[in-house]
Each structure stands twice: as structure tokens, then as C-alpha cells.
Amino acid sequence: MDTSLTWLSPWYPVDDTSVGQGLEHQLRREICSSHVLAGETVRLIARRADTDDALFALADSRVAEVHLTWKNGTEEDPRWPATAVFASIDDWARESMRPLHDELSRMR
């Protein structure tokens, strides 16, 4: 994972392992067997400060931006939690983090 990434608001890195373990557990609780992340090993790397979105590293260097539902159980629809998978953290930063940051900056 690229540690030289400059985080742009509203995203921030999460280094607290207990927070990471909690959100990883919540994700596993929510996804059904046909969800795009079913069977994947995930590690929380960042959160979005203004929503329930989280960024997870996958074992093969991809990353997944996930909008957790906070359901106390498994979602039946594999579209939930909503998930976008990116080939790399650099792709995610370019395609998701930067455009969001720019959009929110214009709104201020």
C-alpha cells in the first residue's frame, strides 16, 4: 500500500487497529455470499468524515470504497453495502478522492 498518499478531506487515514477491526467485522456482517467482497480479506485504511464510507485494502493491492449500511445482519441484496473496487489506491485517489475533494471545495 502506498504510504506517500496525500489524504484529501473528507477522507482521513485510520491507524487505530481496534477501529479497523470493528469496521472490518461490520463489513463481514453486512455482505452476503454473492457480494463483490465475499471471501475477500480486507483491512481498513481510511474513513470519510462526512458519511459512513470506508476504504478497505484488499489482499491483491486493490482497494474498495464501501458505504456501510450498519445493518445488524446480512444484507440480502448484493448491491449493499454499496461498493466500488479500484485497481489500486492511486486509481482510487484519482477517480474518487480527488474529484470529491474538488467538488466539496467548490461548494464552500
String of DSSP letters for 27-91: HHHH--TTSTTTT--EEEEEEETTSSEEEEEETTS-EEEEE----SS--SSTT-SEEEEESSHHH
What gap in Å lies between CA 81 and CA 35, rounded to an integer? Answer: 8
Report the pLDDT value the prediction gives residue 4, as an integer from 0 to 100: 79
Report the pLDDT value the prediction gives residue 2, as an integer from 0 to 100: 45
Tell me the pLDDT of the chain (108 aa) as tens digits. 545 799 999 999 999 999 999 999 999 999 999 999 999 999 999 999 999 999 999 999 999 999 999 999 999 999 999 999 999 999 999 999 999 999 998 887
Each domain of the chain, given as residue ranges in start order, spans 11-107
Q: Any idea what the Cα angle at residue 37 is, between residues 23 and 55, rounded to 5°?
A: 45
Report the pLDDT value the prediction gives residue 3, as an integer from 0 to 100: 54
